[in-house]
Structure 1
Amino acid sequence: MLIAQLSDPHVTTGPLAADPASGLHRALGTVLALRPRPDCVVITGDLTANGRPDEYLALREIVGAFPLPVHLVTGNHDDRESLLDTFGGTPCLAGGFSAHYHVDLPDATLVVLDSLTPGSPGGRLGDEQLAWLDGVLAGRTDAPAVVCLHHPPVAVGVPGMDAMGLADAEALAAVVGRHPHVVRVAAGHLHRQVTSAFAGTVLTTAPSLDPGEPDHDRRGGAGVRRRADRLPAAPHRRRWLCDAHRPGQPRRRAHLLVLSRRCSGTSRTARICTPPGSTGICGAGAHRAGCARTPGAGTAGHRAGRFRC
């Protein structure tokens, strides 16, 4: 199972429409060129720039003809009602009319959360949605689960962004921590790629696809804007192998590919939940035999990517 993550395309209309549309088109084209080809794509929020109905129609024009399933996540730039008006009842929202939903893929469960708080750049899930998440995760424990939302539930050292993070991050951590088959939490919002331990698993964020959007510097302000004509032809790719295995049950794996508009020319792979003493791909991206857990880290530490090879 291969899941490609994109984030923050900020699709819009009018004079500023070209760059965001180009960034999303190019990223989707790269997804199709990957071998093996991903099974689906998830876009982790800020789907549009302003949440206007015409922007969601523009987004639908881009993703509607895409040959792979595309799953959409709300962000602080989005408008929930406009999203549901355009994509409700379609596979982009798992055929339903809710911005939080889950998709039972053949070898994994994709869970999409809605952290949008109208009128605020920060996010919140709320008790009702967290209880729903707990029930969904408890309902299928024999397959890896990937949880997607827009606002990252960790502080990353960028004060301006940390101030507009997920308000109930601790409550989310409590839910995720009860379910060891959650092998990845995927988020956006930061406009940069970050990897962090979270609730016994791993959190990854994907940068913005919009060539005109700045990255956020350490002071919390806007960094350098990248001109579209200076961008590389292919986005950066990072692959994570998420493996949840229980004795006596078939092994199921889910890969998460994090794609952005930047390309370093390299692809790195990490093995999650590797049984002690097995042969796999370690955190350094190299094939090693007998990759051992860090002493004292325990299973949770190994799932969080702390390796000794």
Structure 2
Amino acid sequence: MTRILQLTDTHVVCPPNKVSGVLDTLTLFEDAITKIEQDLEKLGHVDAIIVTGDITDHGDVESYDAFNSVIRRLGIPYFVIPGNHDLRSSMHHCFENLTPATSDEINWVKHFPDLDIIGLDTVIPGQGGGRLSPTALAFLEHALTRHPDKPALIAMHHPPFASGIQFMDAIGLEGADEMAEILEKSPRDVRVICGHLHNSIVATIGGATVLSSPATASSFLTDHRSDAPVGFTQDPGGYMLHEWNKGFRSTYLPLASSGQLYPF
């Protein structure tokens, strides 16, 4: 069995800075890690953590260093991909062995005994929306042709589906149709995970299930009205546990403290 934690949209900034003048995201991330430490007593062994983008809010080295110092408390190997708030140059400075030096994009594959994890870079520098470039699509297609009998967990920042949240769909993903074609041709059992939406949504692409994880920094409301207000709430977010054991299983875990447990 392979067990992977997914964190996303930590948007770390270093004090006294706050995201939008409101969110002390470093403290929120520290609190999230404390909650995860408590949860691990119940969850058992975890093989790795994937952080699906927007690690920092401004892409500065100081914030990445702060992120690293906090997540290392868990003592679990972790892998990162960029989101639209991240800067690849700073990430290369702060994280080792992200991608071959010949590529500007941060695409990678990590092999586990019964599962491959494929990280895809969807960033368009300077823009909120994302794109699966020809490079990323070719990387995905090649990665899926290797070990065709193994399942694959594909991690990306921008969701390859429309969420119904208008202001987020306006900065959605280009190249989702091309990705769907690649997935439809692959014999692998595939699950796709993403961030960006600060919300938990399940969809399908190319015959594969795709899930967005809630964030640690803030939450976005599910509001499909065309005139829905643009903004975030400070409602506690969450994270995901993805497992392979003769099939995929994905579990949402809240960051809010549990209430009293009542026996049956």
Shorter chain as denominator, the TM-score bin is 0.7 to 0.9
Residue 29 to residue 194, structure 1, CA distance change in 2 (3 Å)? same
* TM superposition score normalised by structure 1: 0.71
Largest Rg, 1 or 2:
1
1:167 to 161, 174, 179: 174
* TM superposition score normalised by structure 2: 0.82
Structure 2 alignment gaps of length 5 or more = 19-23, 260-264
Residue 164 to residue 144, structure 1, CA distance change in 2 (3 Å)? same
- The one-letter amino acid of 2:92's match is L
- The one-letter amino acid of 2:58's match is N
Map of 1:303 onto structure 2: none
Deviation at 1:127, TM superposition (A): 0.7
Is the contact made by 1:44 and 1:149 (CA closer than 8 Å) also made in structure 2? yes
Structure 2 CA distance for aligned equivalents of residues 49 and 143 of structure 1: 35
Is the contact made by 1:3 and 1:254 (CA closer than 8 Å) also made in structure 2? no
Structure 2 CA distance for aligned equivalents of residues 86 and 240 of structure 1: 26
Q: 2:41 aligned with 1:29, yes or no?
A: no
Is the contact made by 2:191 and 2:248 (CA closer than 8 Å) also made in structure 1? no
Is the contact made by 1:6 and 1:258 (CA closer than 8 Å) also made in structure 2? no
Structure 2 CA distance for aligned equivalents of residues 72 and 8 of structure 1: 11
Deviation at 1:255, TM superposition (A): 4.3
Q: 2:142 aligned with 1:141, yes or no?
A: no
Is the contact made by 1:158 and 1:220 (CA closer than 8 Å) also made in structure 2? no
Structure 2 CA distance for aligned equivalents of residues 220 and 182 of structure 1: 38
Deviation at 1:208, TM superposition (A): 0.9
Q: 2:233 aligned with 1:224, yes or no?
A: yes
Instruction: Give deviations 1:100-139, integer Å, cap 9, x for gaps.
Output: 1000111100000011111110111211111111011111
Map of 1:261 onto structure 2: 255
- After superposing the two structures, state which structure 1 stretch, 175-184 or 122-131, moved more: 175-184
Secondary structure class of the residue paired with 1:14: coil
Secondary structure class of the residue paired with 2:191: strand
> What is the total number of aligned residue pairs between the two structures?
244
- The one-letter amino acid of 1:6's match is L
Map of 1:72 onto structure 2: 80
Is the contact made by 1:102 and 1:111 (CA closer than 8 Å) also made in structure 2? yes
Secondary structure class of the residue paired with 2:174: coil
- After superposing the two structures, state which structure 1 stretch, 167-176 or 147-156, moved more: 167-176
Identity of aligned residues (%): 28
Map of 2:203 onto structure 1: 196
Residue 148 to residue 185, structure 1, CA distance change in 2 (3 Å)? same
- The one-letter amino acid of 1:76's match is N
Q: Which runs of 4+ in 1 moved over 6 A?
A: none
Residue 260 to residue 175, structure 1, CA distance change in 2 (3 Å)? farther
Map of 1:277 onto structure 2: none
Supply the RMSD in Å over aligned alpha carbons.
Answer: 2.5
